[in-house]
Amino acid sequence: MKDVCPFGENGNWYKGNLHSHSNVSDGKLKPEESVDLYKSNGYSFLAFSEHEVFTNWSKFNTKDFLIIPAIERGIYPRSSKCFHIHGIQGSKAFRENSSKKCLEHMDRTIPPEFKGKETVQTVINELRDSGNLVMFNHPNWSFNELDDFVDLEGYFALEIFNYGCEVEERNGLSTVYWDSLLRRGKRVWGIATDDNHNSNKFGEAKPSWDSLGGWVCLKSKELTQDAIADALLEGRFYSSSGPEIYDYGVKNGKVFVKCSPVEKIYFITESHANSRMNSEGKTISSSTYEIIGRENYIRVECVDKYGKIAWTNPIFIE
């Protein structure tokens, strides 16, 4: 097994939320209020993914903060089940290869009538063909079964953790679907987001109550739309609801991870994986896993004492 360096050799870390709503759709905050919230909490980028409205708020871009143009499209069969498909604007080179006209600021879409899985595939294709990287959103919250999306193609990532869904309904975690896809050889990255709407249906709360709980940290040489889109597509990032990951990869036949102090580090593969726990109340901040050679993929979860998690993307064993 060759050495693998998933984050790349050089670059800076940038933290961002790729899924959020403002009052342009069903969120509470104005776009500028959301920008202030995320900027003041150390984020470098934010995607507004309004329902059926593509937005490109580039007017909020500064040297150290970037808006990622995006949209969330929905498909609603006549049941509690739904499909939410996320378009994140790709790099200029990606968009130039698009077969359809790229979406522009305030372009609106209409949920199509559900006629089966092919309707979902059509929406994925439309988003991708109009210049977007496609993420399959919150399958747990959407009451999706694996069978609903296992055959779909053309999405680069699964939303593995949605903080808003977790806060409201305790169904924000979708890693079980991710492993099912990975076991079948699907190569999809895992992304944690907020999906913040900033209104609390349970009563009084700070506007940030469903914000700042799920994010990605990616490594990139610069903070530009092209560089961020490419880092996402290439998987040069990890997701988190708390812990930080400093390094991760394969060296001398072992998967290694270095992270902020946590209670447990899990190496997850198709077989019963090894885990590393703290002992006597101490924390750990690194671990390794020796590759047997029968794994198709290995990914890592670092879990702190509060149950907060950092998720690496999978390394695929060739």
Site residues, Zn ion (CB under 5 A): 72, 84, 137, 195
Q: Which is nearer to Zn ion, 143 or 306 (CB)?
A: 143
Whether the CB-CB separation of 110 and 52 falls below 8 Å is answered with: yes
Q: Which is nearer to Zn ion, 200 or 274 (CB)?
A: 200
> Could you tell me the smallest distance in angstroms from the CB atom of residue 38 to Zn ion?
15
Q: Which is nearer to Zn ion, 56 or 220 (CB)?
A: 56
3-state helix, strand, coil in the chain (%, to 5): 20, 35, 45
> Could you tell me the smallest distance in angstroms from the CB atom of residue 25 to Zn ion?
8
CB atoms within 10 A of CB 75: 19
Report the relative pairing of strands 189-193 and 132-136 from DSSP bridges.
unpaired
Half-sphere exposure of 94 (CA within 13 A, CB side): 22
Q: Which is nearer to Zn ion, 20 or 56 (CB)?
A: 20
- CA separation for the pair 288, 179 (Å, rounded): 20
> Could you tell me the smallest distance in angstroms from the CB atom of residue 30 to Zn ion?
17
> Could you tell me the smallest distance in angstroms from the CB atom of residue 84 to Zn ion?
3
The closest residue (CB) to Zn ion is: 84
Q: Where are the beta strands (DSSP E) in the chain?
A: 12-17, 45-48, 53-54, 66-75, 83-89, 107-108, 132-136, 157-162, 189-193, 215-220, 237-240, 245-251, 254-262, 264-268, 275-277, 284-290, 297-303, 309-312, 315-316
> Could you tell me the smallest distance in angstroms from the CB atom of residue 310 to Zn ion?
22
Residues in the chain: 318
Q: Which is nearer to Zn ion, 137 or 198 (CB)?
A: 137
- CA separation for the pair 51, 73 (Å, rounded): 6
> Could you tell me the smallest distance in angstroms from the CB atom of residue 149 to Zn ion?
14
Q: Which is nearer to Zn ion, 84 or 219 (CB)?
A: 84
